[in-house]
Chains A and B, each alone.
Chain A
Amino acid sequence: MQTTSRLNDVKHLRDIFNAQNSKALKKAFDALGSSITISEEDLEVAFNRYFVGPMEPVADPFASVYLDNPDVVMSQSTLQVRELYETMGFTYPLKNVIPEDHLGVELDAYYQLLYLEEKKNITYLSELRHYFLHEHMNLWVPRFIERALSESEHDSKAITFILLQLKSLLIRETTIQGVTA
């Protein structure tokens, strides 16, 4: 596995889930290397139906929804992630605005932790990264993916592609850890 691709995949997925408009979303989507052609607007409309709203989305991108309570954000799991970030040396400018366990924020944390190890050879947070991956992300992201993929009513090739990329990323990361441990 190429480090660059590993890091880039996390980064593009992060950018997809943090996109605030069609343009940013499409740019990150294209960077993932899909051959699917879709307009900026169609991609965003589908993405919002799956993950954003304003109608109840197919799958909420928050850990708390899978780990604590299907109806709430900013609950116990969110605060545990907050504690982890603080211990990792992060500050979060959107504290108490966007819950720390939003998928885009978690992918950002994961990307930065991986970057330290792969690009800077700093392993001080390696144990925390593995913990975050195995004891947190891996407990909910697969369920999130599964819920979104099981949706057939709004079946979207582009969204399926994103979800499968996320799924491979997760499998890859958890497996690499297993090999190198």
Chain B
Amino acid sequence: MSYSKENVESIVNNGLSRRSFLKGLAASGVLSSFPGGILQANEDLNTKIPYLGEKSYQTFRNACPRNCYDTCSIKTYVKDGVMQFIEGAQESTYTRGGCCVKGNSYVKRVYSARRLKYPMMQVGGKGSGNWKRISWDNAIDIIAKKLLEIKKEDGTLLGAALTKYSGNFGITHYGIEGMFNSIGYTTRLAGTPCWPAGIDAQNLDMGDMWCNDPEEMKDSKFIILWGVNPAANSIHSMKYIYEAKKKGAKVVVIDPVFTEAASKASQYIQIKAGTDGLLALGMAKIIIEAGLHDQKWLDANSKGYKEYKAYLDKEIKLDNVSKITGIPLAMIKELALSFAKAKPATIWMGYGMQRHTNGGSMIRAIDAFVAVSGNIGKYAGGARYGHLSTWGFNYAALSQPKPEGSVGYSGPEGAKGEFAQVGGAKAAYTDRFLNINKTARELLNAKEPKVRLLWVACKNVFAQDFDRNQLIRAFQQLDLVVVADQFFNETAKWADIVLPVATQFEEYDVNVSYWHYWLTLNEQAIKPLFEVKSDLEIAAMLSKRMNQLQAGSCTFPQSVDTKAMMVKEFNPGIYEQFGIKSWEELKNGPVKAKAVIPYADGKFKTPSGKFEFYSDKALELFGSALPAYLEVRKPYDKFRMTSPHSRWSLHSQFQNLEWMEDVHPEPYVYINPDDAEAKMVKEGDTVAVFNKQGLLRVKAKLTDNVQAGTLLMYEQWYNNNIYNVNELVDDTSSDMGAFKTGAPGVALHDTFVNFRKL
């Protein structure tokens, strides 16, 4: 042998022999003789370079920026520039040192072999799979020229559209909208597929969406988890629920599906989907009749209680409530009365419940029940849905002026989304807003001018938007589709250009939650891998190129540093709310906002200043002043299909990672055994699930966790699998959402299908 394994390994991994080897190397003439290539001779050879075992850890502060209640505060351990592992920050009592399995897999996500590594262009047409590498300069040049061409030909930039949502909720990521603001008036896919009907409902009732601190739930005496599954999707909240339960509180889960949370509750009540509002109305009637309502609070703090009570007296028949909801009347009575007797008591409403054609009305009915019970404005009480009260940043990255002389749409201006609503002076023009929940249809139908360029960021359109087949047609008719992402997903498949973007570990940002009350700094922990760039850097490159081609055509800064941009987002209000003097204090760990009990002062931001059972605004916008029972969408096929979140993924994120693929390698349709038997389907059989939208082939799992008459499939994106539940989901709107988020929500749980064995 011409080498000794032991000898070489000792040279490489042992400090002493390595030092003497390096001394000899310097004398050998090697360094001046290397021909040079990617690797270069180390001219400053230090014979004391520590070997791996001697290199020490550096730690960084990070945040999980995904669309999740928990928005974990993370501590990242890096050695020699390489992330080794992460842990939940100990400083946050909410994260309390632990992340979920998805968070714990971040090292594998950052270093996934599957990450998008280079800007690339699909040269054989969308969906051809023929890809070429292009330099960043080339990619940006193509996009900039296309934008200027659109402006020249149309006279406006309304032919350029942006769709961006919740893939990264970091505050500087609103710089993506900022990039589109900075080029002129453009087209935006506006609204939110997530929670809009509920946001409107809470705003109609209380003038805001503002939940109590989840950490208070430990002192609640009665908790209803209504259509929410924190055991899978907000695991950090569970410790407070367990603590309350240990102290004697009753925890009840109301859900059409027997969820992980249901398995941990004191009681599980299976309700028929879309009838939750009626149950809440019935429960309110029961406690009012029993004299357990909080008359004093209602007198002082509410508007329209009389009309509401009259409605309950006249229209709500308890036998009917029992029949329609599928819950025995005795159980409804017991639930309502024991809730009313426990103080404080709280209800946490999930987002799935409002994804029905009557979703907003159901949230209003539950709000009303909590109000009647006297639990609004109370510590450890509340009708919990979410909050944006810690989101008062500057939105500096977002707020870019339009180039001088920009021409846009002259229609009415409205809300564009639930976050970051930055007001400005009234302009002669606005952007053009298309409903994000009808993306396919709206892209196809937009005229004068038609949409020619679509930029997709922080979003996997094909996994999250509805009617896949129509989406393919919509993408195919666009001149240029740019997808900025971290992985090659189905949306990237239909792109012309893919741009690889940084993970949160490769850039600075700052994060807050729409559920808990912590503020977390996100530091750049490692260099961006391969050729990935942050969304802000991409915007800066675009600005630079556009200004070279046409001076003044883009106002976005032409070079950015993500740290400097992050610093610009802070203001005295944020410092005051979180009790810090400077963002730099966040290097020591996350901080929590000063405690406030929502509505404890009896002040509501409604027109009347009170809790509104009767809302004139609701009457004006949605045709009903009261949270009256609204029947859910009528079935148009044999089985209801529900497509909730899975615990193995966050929307389309994480499922493609090894750990998740290990435990959950493929999609299933979950079928009640009675329904399966009727169709001769056995566990593991492949079935076709179909409706007027399309057809999916998927393996069956039999479980009575789902009710007879209902099929369940998780909304997910699987790597190398054409499964996509939106093959079957149409884009029918829910009742509310247009008031506060710019577009109605989508009634995706009111999808109906049939199935057969293949």
In the complex, what distance in Å separates the CA atom of A54 from the CA atom of B719?
A: 13
Asked whether B18 lies within 8 Å of A89 as measured between CB atoms, the reply is no
Does A122 count as interface, using CB distance less than 8 angstroms? yes
Nearest 7 Cβ contacts at the A-B interface: A124-B28, A96-B81, A130-B3, A131-B8, A108-B37, A90-B39, A91-B42
CA distance A49 to B124 in the complex (A): 13
Q: Does A170 contact B (CB under 8 A)?
A: no
In this assembly, does B712 line the interface, its C-beta being within 8 Å of a C-beta of chain A? no
Q: Give the A-binding residues of B (Cβ under 8 A).
A: 1-5, 7-8, 11-13, 18, 21-22, 24-26, 28-31, 33-43, 45, 49, 51-52, 80-82, 108, 111-114, 116-118, 120, 123-124, 129-135, 488, 492-493, 498, 526-530, 657-658, 719-720
* CB of B98, distance to nearest CB on chain A (Å): 23
Given A87-B22, A89-B31, 15 more pairs with CB closer than 8 A: A53-B118, A72-B108, A92-B40, A97-B527, A97-B530, A98-B529, A108-B37, A108-B38, A108-B39, A112-B34, A116-B33, A122-B33, A127-B7, A131-B3, A181-B2
A145 within 8 A of B: no
Give Cα distance in the complex from A119 to B33, angstroms: 9
Which secondary structure dominates chain A's binding surface? Answer: helix
1/0 per position for A56-80, CB-CB distance to B under 8 A? 1000101001000111111100011
Q: List 17 A-B contacts (CB under 8 A).
A: A44-B132, A48-B131, A49-B131, A54-B488, A55-B131, A70-B113, A83-B13, A87-B22, A89-B22, A89-B30, A89-B45, A92-B38, A92-B40, A108-B37, A116-B33, A125-B30, A135-B5
B129 near A49 with CB under 8 A, answer yes
Chain A contributes a number of interface residues (CB within 8 A of B) equal to 67
Contact of A21 among B1, B42, B135 (CB under 8 A): B135
A82 to B28, CA, bound (A): 21
A binding-site residues for B, Cβ under 8 Å: 14, 18, 20-22, 41, 44-45, 48-49, 52-56, 60, 62, 65, 69-75, 79-80, 82-98, 104-105, 108-109, 111-112, 115-116, 119-120, 122, 124-128, 130-131, 134-135, 177, 180-181
Q: Nearest CB to that of A46 among chain B residues?
A: B130
Most A Cβ at <10 Å: residue of B36, B132, B134: B132
When A72-B108, A120-B33, A180-B2 are in contact, do A90 and B40 touch as well, CB less than 8 Å?
yes
Cα–Cα distance between A52 and B530 once the two chains are bound (Å): 12
**In the complex with contacts A72-B108, A90-B39, A116-B30 CB distance below 8 A:** yes
Residues of A within 8 A of B488 (CB): 53-56
Query: CA A69 – CA B720 in complex, angstroms?
Result: 18
From known contacts A73-B111, A108-B39, A124-B28, infer whether A98 and B120 are also in contact, taking CB-CB under 8 Å.
no
User: In this complex, what residue of A is CB-closest to B659?
Assistant: A71
Q: Which residues of B contact A55 (CB under 8 A)?
A: 129, 131, 488, 493
Most chain-B Cβ atoms within 10 A of its Cβ — which of A104, A131, A181? A131
| C-alpha spacing A26/B2, complex, angstroms | 36
Chain B residues closer than 8 Å to A71, beta-carbon distance: 108, 112-114, 657-658
Among A54, A130, A134, point to the contact of B498 (Cβ < 8 A): A54
Chain A residues with Cβ below 8 Å from B4 are 127
Q: If the complex has contacts A60-B113, A74-B82, A127-B7, are A89 and B123 also in contact, measured as CB distance less than 8 A?
A: no
Knowing A48-B120, A87-B18, A104-B38, say if A41 contacts B132 (CB, 8 Å): yes
Chain B positions within 8 Å of A52 at CB level: 117-118, 131, 133
Contacts A54-B488, A83-B51, A131-B8 given: A93-B40 contact, CB under 8 Å?
A: yes
Query: In the assembled complex, which residues on chain B have CB atoms less than 8 Å from the CB atom of A115?
Result: 33-35
Residues of B contacting A49 with CB < 8 Å? 129, 131
Given contacts A48-B120, A48-B132, A71-B114, contact A112 B37 (CB under 8 A): yes
Q: Inter-chain contact count A-B, CB under 8 Å? A: 191
| Known A54-B498, A89-B45; contact A127-B3, beta-carbon cutoff 8 A | yes
Contacting pair B526 A126 (CB below 8 A)? no
A96 touches B40 (CB 8 A): no
CA distance A71 to B124 in the complex (A): 28
Query: Contacts A83-B12, A127-B7 hold; do A53 and B39 have CB atoms under 8 A apart?
Result: no
Q: How far is the CB of B101 from chain A (nearest CB, A)?
A: 15
Contact of A122 with B135 in the complex, beta carbons under 8 Å: no
Contacts of B114 in A (CB 8 A): 56, 71
Q: A18 with B12: in contact, given A71-B112, A72-B113 (CB under 8 Å)?
A: no
In the complex, which residues of chain B have a beta carbon less than 8 angstroms from the beta carbon of A104?
A: 38
A45 touching B131 by the CB < 8 A rule?
Answer: yes
- How many angstroms from the CA of A109 to the CA of B36 in the assembled complex? 9
Give the Cβ gap from A41 to chain B, nearest Cβ, in Å: 6
Contact at A56–B3, with CB atoms within 8 Å? no
Q: Are A56 and B719 in contact (CB under 8 A)?
A: yes
**Beta-carbon nearest neighbor of A78 in chain B:** B82
Docked pose: A96 CA to B493 CA in angstroms: 28
In the complex, A66→B452 CA distance in Å?
43
Most buried by B among A48, A72, A85, A95: A72
Name B46's closest neighbour in chain A (CB-CB): A86
Residues of B within 8 A of A87 (CB): 11-12, 18, 21-22
Contacts of A88 in B (CB 8 A): 25, 30
Question: Which residue of chain B lies nearest to A83 when distances are taken between CB atoms in the complex?
Answer: B12
Chain A residues with CB under 8 A of B51:
83
Contact between B82 and A126, CB atoms less than 8 A apart: no
CA distance A97 to B620 in the complex (A): 57
Known A120-B33, A130-B2; contact A41-B8, beta-carbon cutoff 8 A: no
A54-B720 CB under 8 A given contacts A74-B111, A108-B38:
no
Q: In the bound complex, what is the Cα–Cα distance between A127 and B129 (angstroms)?
A: 44
List of B residues within 8 angstroms of A21 by Cβ = 132-135
Distance (whole angstroms) from the CB of B531 to the closest CB of chain A: 8
* Chain B hits for A56, CB < 8 A: 114, 488, 719-720
Known contacts A74-B111, A105-B38: does B528 contact A128 (CB below 8 Å)? Answer: no
Query: Which of A52, A83, A180 has most chain B Cβ within 10 Å?
Result: A83
Indicate if the CB atoms of A45 and B130 lie closer than 8 Å.
yes
Instruction: Knowing A79-B52, A92-B38, A115-B35, say if A69 contacts B25 (CB, 8 Å).
Output: no
Q: A87-B18, A126-B2 are in contact. Are A95 and B130 (CB under 8 A)?
A: no
Nearest-Cβ distance from residue A157 to partner chain B, whole angstroms: 17
B117 near A122 (CB under 8 angstroms)?
no
Minimum CB distance partner of B493 in chain A:
A55
Residues of B within 8 A of A69 (CB): 658
CB distance from A20 to the nearest CB of B (A): 6
Q: Closest residue of chain A to B5, judged by CB?
A: A135
Centre residue among B8, B117, B123, B528 by max chain A CB count within 10 A: B8
Q: Given the complex of chains A and B, what is the CA–CA distance between A45 and B493 in angstroms?
A: 15
Docked CA distance A74–B528 (Å): 13
Q: Tell me the bound Cα distance from A126 to B131 in angstroms.
A: 40
Chain A hits for B493, CB < 8 A? 55
Judge whether B39 and A112 touch: CB under 8 Å.
yes
- The distance from the CB of B2 to the nearest CB of chain A, in whole angstroms, is 4
Complex-state Cα separation, A130 to B112, whole angstroms = 30
Q: Is the beta-carbon distance between A96 and B28 smaller than 8 angstroms?
A: no
B41 contacts A14, C-beta separation under 8 Å:
no
Greatest chain A CB density within 10 A among B24, B39, B49, B123 is at B39
Residue among B12, B26, B31, B38 having the largest count of chain A Cβ atoms under 10 Å? B38
| Bound CA–CA A14/B36 (angstroms) | 13
How close is A158's CB to chain B, nearest CB, in angstroms? 15
Pick the contact of A134 from B3, B24, B33, B113 — CB < 8 Å? B3
